[in-house]
Amino acid sequence: MSRIPLVEPEQASEEVRSLYRSFAGADLPVMNVMKLFGNNVNFLAGLTHIARGLYQDAHLSPRHRELAYLRASQLNSCHY
């Protein structure tokens, strides 16, 4: 159980709900981390801009993007 409440779409303000819909419009699921950031609409808006830059206007193929994620994880000793 999270210590910070998750903002579910049906309980969210209209502004947060609009941002959730923008993720769905980009074929991205509304993950729990996005629901967590729904507590701060400005932070969620920033995440939306980052996600658009990474996924909507992507110049890398999904395969190459995944390789970049894996390599960055290796360099930072992260378990991916």
pLDDT tens digits along 26-64: 677 888 988 999 999 999 999 888 877 777 767 888 898
> What is this structure's pTM?
0.66
**Which H or E run contains 62?**
helix 62-75
- What angle (nearest 5°) sits at the alpha carbon of residue 58, between those of residues 55 and 63? 90
Q: What is the DSSP secondary-structure string of 9-21?
A: GGGS-HHHHHHHH
User: What are the residue ranges spanned by the domains of the chain?
Assistant: 9-75
The confidence band for 79, taking pLDDT boundaries of 50, 70 and 90, is: confident
Phi then psi for residue 16, to 5 deg, are: -70, -40
Q: Given a cut of 90, is residue 8 above it in pLDDT?
A: yes
Instruction: Find the range with the poorest average confidence among 10-24, 43-57, 62-76.
Output: 43-57
Torsion of CA 52, 53, 59, 62, to 10 degrees: -60
